[in-house]
Structure 1
Amino acid sequence: MTSSDRTGGADAAPEGVRLQKALAAAGVASRRVVENLIVEGRIEVNGRVVTELGTRIDPLADEVSVDGVAVQLDQDKRYFMLNKPRGVVSSMRDEQGRPDLRRFTDPLDVRVFNVGRLDGDTSGLLLLTNDGDLAHVLAHPSFGVEKTYIAKVTGRMTAQTLQQLKRGIELEDGPIRVDRAKILQPQPDAGHTMVEVTLHSGRNRIVRRMLDAVGHPVVELVRRQFGPLHLGTLRSGHVRELSKIELGQLLTIARAADAGRKGKR
């Protein structure tokens, strides 16, 4: 229900913010362009297409999407991507005094926390945010966000081993299989192989344990992708804010997953 549905009648003071104003403030487009989007039926509020220019919403409660892509209207919510270096633990304060995430988050103008973890020996993409609702959905086991890793492993991996990973193997905490895997290249010294692995499990050190179980211990491991987010050319130890497109993609799949999870209750 939008805020325009919640008004108390003709004599009641209008509640909420006009939809075009909220979307313009969120950086979607100018008010005039947003008005055209509304008239064309390209905007949904809480899953319902709206075409009335007078529609009012609550930016902190209503969910809005444009052309099926979610929009974050709460400008206090922030989202960052970190290329975490090796040797840094995924914690805001490590009790053992090891290098932690504060060196990257302290310079930011907002307090954020990490979504999920990468072990100290693994580098790559880590999402940082102050959006607790989104973090909860992405971390929930039923969501199963896909993660893609590049691993340098010992030995020459074969196609047969890849098939074994795809079919599934048995670990001490239960069966597991990858969603996708491919050999990128054997290393010139013939002693290592570069392999790309995609899976949605969030179990502890799962990639390392799987590759070790098939006889190819990991030498180096980098997470290149988390859901729709790609590390790209972001340098190790650097942080950047998500683009509007990246954020829209992330919110869209998170909202869909949350809706699906609630529908199963």
Structure 2
Amino acid sequence: MNRRQATAGVVLAAFLTIAVEPVAAQSVNKTLIESLNRQLLYVAVPLAILVEVILFYAVWKHKDNDDPSPTKENRSLEITWTIATAIILLFVGFASYNILTDPYISPSLTEQEQALGGDQNLEGAVMPASDDDAVIVRTIAYQWGWDFVYPEENVTTDNVTVVPANTDVYYHLTSRDVLHAFHAPELGLKMDTIPGQYNTIRTNITEPGTYRVYCSEFCGAGHSRMYANLTVVSQDRYQAWLSNQNRTDVPTRVSAENATNVTASVAAPPA
């Protein structure tokens, strides 16, 4: 492969990287993250092409130069690339700031509730506004599984969480024993679960389906099998699923072994 072919290959790969339309994101969080990635690519790819072109040109021009002369100072060039670098860094910082401060990426502390479901201390959890019709799920990680508590519905599930599509969902995360991490890569969700405190993930999932939740922090011998299913359904089917749970003074527990029945109840149209 000659230099022209190599250069053409770099340019073509960069063009395809920018031009290919990404698959539609399944959640607001994923959409925001992919938007930032695209903005950074629009800066990074032209810079990479420019650097490679200059490199190939320098190699080609000076390949037979056995007596190179020292580089001369060019103040105008130095001022130009300093200003260009500053502009690029300002763009990257501004784009990143806009995404990182979005309420779905970094939920703002709007309201604190100290007792959810009776007597649990939720210090540090970010709560929705009082008029927000959001779903709240208290998520407890342990070696090696997940408990999902729906305090307003008096329902608890093991390794299965069901939420409605196009609705704000607040996952309040904590751990019963050691450090874990809640990670749903298809939805762009990731947060540490820490014993003794709560972290909050706020999301709004637009595509119904079943997504896998992993623990992304090594937590012991059973780490590789610590996962759960996050199922997203329509609002009607979500209400039907809740109605199918046995409401008593003791929260209902839907175990992983009963996941087939849960999925079937979700998939069935509401009565």
Q: TM-score higher than 0.5 here?
A: no
Q: TM-score, normalised by structure 2?
A: 0.23
Greater share of residues in helix: 2
Instruction: Calculate the TM-score normalised by the size of structure 1.
Output: 0.24
Give the greater-gyration-radius structure (CA): 2
